[in-house]
Amino acid sequence: MKIVTIFFIPVFFFLIIAAKKKEPDEVVVAHGRMPNITKDKNNNIHLVYGTGDSIMYAVSKNGTSFTSPTLIGVLPGVFASAMRGPQIAAADNGVVVTACTQKGNIYSYKKEASGKWTKAIKVNEVDENAKEALIGLSADGMKAYTVWLGVRGAKGQNVYGAKSLDGGKTWSKNILVYESPDSSVCECCKPSVLVKGNNVYVMFRNWLNGSRDLYLAKSSNGGNSFNQVQKLGNGTWKLKGCPMDGGGLAINNTGTPETVWRREGKIFASSPGEPEKEIGEGKGCTIETVNGKKVYAWGENGNVIVMKPQGIKKDLGKGSLPLIKALNNEHVICVWENDQQIHASVVEL
């Protein structure tokens, strides 16, 4: 009798510990490249990605299962690799998607109330302006904003933007967000944008005096003009080449921007005007704020790492270029790419 008791007590406690550590299962959503996600006002998760010349879409109510992918549109030469892929955002009147071709033209699609997608609308006024195909998209209420790296003369790039006041149905005249006093901003790093009320924040990697550092531009008039531009963090990265790593941008519950980005092989987090804090090593980082807490994800040695608010790191397995979005106050969903497949996992905080 004593032998049986001694044997089963450790097993019982082991099962309890294992249950506490278990996360919801990872799912493979589809075959494709460069996933991007957004959450709408009804807490549905919308996913977009590219495969060949097709832009594909799926939706999930819980993050653990997705609808069968459907076609948004066929865009010849659409980019879906190396941080160049379709973007998605949720406005009050539905979902909007932007995508860029290899020729450098940006097109938008709007999901109508019927569930059908509109025909492609060209966003950039100057033909073939977005040669690098590095774009960002965000929406809040009926406002949407897209940014991209645009051609500057024979060489170099500026940061451009365009706004929509009808949830992505139509787009404004293009706006110069930032022009570097040197020859160019960093040519191959994806810009990020975030809309919150009348405030529009754009994060990009600059190239000043040989340094490739992250900067944040702010507009207080809905993106009509950007008068405030500031460097993020105190350190600098002198680099002759382009790191091809743009970082991530989020807004906390007080309305303050929170950022994460790479310098050399390390991952840093910072708020504007505050010193940066090293949180890990790797590349391809992203951030989400959940109930006032920050959650990060990045690629490290070929694996996807999520760092929870307590500083606990979880390895989700093989992959790169993760994106995270809050499901609720206790869970986030992480999507990423591995071997030309779209993976998703719900992580408990």
Assign 228 a pLDDT band (cuts: 50, 70, 90). confident
* Per-residue pLDDT reduced to its tens digit, 262-316: 999 999 999 999 999 999 999 999 999 999 999 999 999 999 999 999 999 999 9
Q: How many helices (H) and strands (E) does the chain have?
A: 1, 28
**At residue 11, does pLDDT exceed 90?**
no
* Per-residue pLDDT reduced to its tens digit, 104-129: 999 999 998 889 999 999 999 999 99
Which of 22-31, 150-159, 199-208 reaches the highest mean pLDDT?
199-208
Report the pLDDT value the prediction gives residue 2, as an integer from 0 to 100: 43
What DSSP assignment string belongs to 283-298?
Answer: EEEEEEEETTEEEEEE
Give how far Cα 292 sits from Cα of 252, 289, 320, Å: 6, 6, 26
The token pair at 99 is 């995508």
214 strand-pairing partners: 205
347: left (phi over 0), alpha (psi -120 to 50) or beta: beta
Please give the average per-residue pLDDT across 252-268, as a whole number. Answer: 96
Pairwise CA distance, residues 313 & 310, whole Å: 9
Q: Which domains does the chain have, with CATH numbers?
A: 30-253 (2.120.10.10)
For the chain, the average pLDDT equals 92
Assign 153 a pLDDT band (cuts: 50, 70, 90). confident
Q: Which one-letter amino acid corresponds to residue 228?
A: Q
Strand ranges (E), 220-312: 228-231, 248-251, 257-263, 266-270, 277-281, 283-290, 293-300, 303-307
* Per-residue pLDDT reduced to its tens digit, 35-88: 999 999 999 999 999 999 999 999 999 999 999 999 999 999 999 998 899 999
Please give the average per-residue pLDDT across 124-139, as a whole number. Answer: 97
Name, in order, each residue with C-beta under 8 angstroms of 317's C-beta and a sequence gap of 6 or more.
26, 303, 304, 338, 343
Assign 1 a pLDDT band (cuts: 50, 70, 90). very low
Q: Is 302 exposed, middle or buried (0-12, 13-18, 19+ CB in 10 A)?
A: exposed
Assign 12 a pLDDT band (cuts: 50, 70, 90). very low
**At residue 28, does pLDDT exceed 50?**
yes
Pairwise CA distance, residues 291 & 307, whole Å: 15
Could you tell me how far CA 7 lies from the centroid of its own chain?
Answer: 49
Report the pLDDT value the prediction gives residue 5, as an integer from 0 to 100: 41
What DSSP assignment string belongs to 134-193?
Answer: -EEEEEETTEEEEEEEEE-SSS-EEEEEEEESSTTSS----EEEE--SSS-S-TT---EE
What DSSP assignment string belongs to 87-101?
Answer: EEEEETTEEEEEEEB
The token pair at 158 is 């500026």
**At residue 7, does pLDDT exceed 70?**
no
Report the pLDDT value the prediction gives residue 19, as an integer from 0 to 100: 32
Report the pLDDT value the prediction gives residue 278, as an integer from 0 to 100: 98
Report the pLDDT value the prediction gives residue 227, as an integer from 0 to 100: 86
**At residue 18, does pLDDT exceed 80?**
no
The token pair at 38 is 């957004």
Sheet holding 277-281, edge to edge: 248-251, 257-263, 266-270, 277-281
User: Which runs of consecutive H residues, i.e. helices, occur in the chain?
Assistant: 2-21
Pairwise CA distance, residues 319 & 339, whole Å: 8
Name, in order, each residue with C-beta under 8 angstroms of 156's C-beta and a sequence gap of 6 or more.
180, 183, 184, 185, 187
Assign 324 a pLDDT band (cuts: 50, 70, 90). very high
**At residue 155, does pLDDT exceed 80?**
no
The token pair at 5 is 């008791």
Please give the average per-residue pLDDT across 143-169, as a whole number. Answer: 94
**At residue 22, does pLDDT exceed 90?**
no
| 3 state DSSP class of 255 | coil
CB atoms within 10 A of CB 187: 20
Could you tell me how far CA 146 lies from the centroid of its own chain?
Answer: 13
